[in-house]
Amino acid sequence: MSLGEIKPINKLKYGQLKSEELCMDKVKVGLKIRTKRKIKSWSVKELAKISGISASTIKRIESGKENITLDTLDLIVKAFSTSVQELLSDTEEVMENKLEKRLKALNNLPVEKKEIALELIDSLILKSQNDELRA
């Protein structure tokens, strides 16, 4: 059974995914894999080597010409060191768009306001780094 063929279900065995995430079409799944690969600056050959999937299969999946099997999806997720839910969700894309819009808006502010915004961002980054060191 491939991901593109799965129908919505009310209850999931492990409760990790929403049924909508299981119903993605093969084009959208392929696009998400390609996007994640490009974010990591990996070539198709690099993903193939890391995942153990042939480069031709990855190309067909990314182009939406082939349904991805759950086993193949699992190998890709492991190669990316992520989860199926994280890979297939729109969270990262949505957040990037929101940040991009905010940065454009910041450019229209006076210099003094931009300095305040930079101080806030720097404080948030520093706090996040400190939290990671403590963990």
One domain for residues 54 and 68: yes
Q: Give 68-93 pLDDT, tens digit per residue.
A: 999 999 999 999 998 888 888 776 67
Q: Give 25-54 pLDDT, tens digit per residue.
A: 888 899 999 999 998 999 999 999 999 999
Q: 48: domain range?
A: 3-88
One domain for residues 14 and 34: yes
Residue 5 predicted with pLDDT over 90: no
CA atoms within 13 A on the CB side of 66: 14
One domain for residues 61 and 18: yes
Alpha carbons 34 and 61: distance in angstroms, whole number: 9
Q: Give 84-122 pLDDT, tens digit per residue.
A: 888 887 766 767 877 888 889 999 999 999 999 999 999
Provide the pLDDT for residue 28: 87
**pTM for this prediction:** 0.54
Residue closest to 33 by CA, chosen among 95, 79, 94 = 79
One domain for residues 19 and 70: yes
For residue 70, what is the domain's CATH number? 1.10.260.40
One domain for residues 29 and 62: yes
Residue 21 predicted with pLDDT over 50: no
One domain for residues 60 and 7: yes
Q: Are 36 and 90 in contact (CB under 8 A)?
A: no
Provide the pLDDT for residue 24: 65
One domain for residues 20 and 43: yes
One domain for residues 82 and 103: no
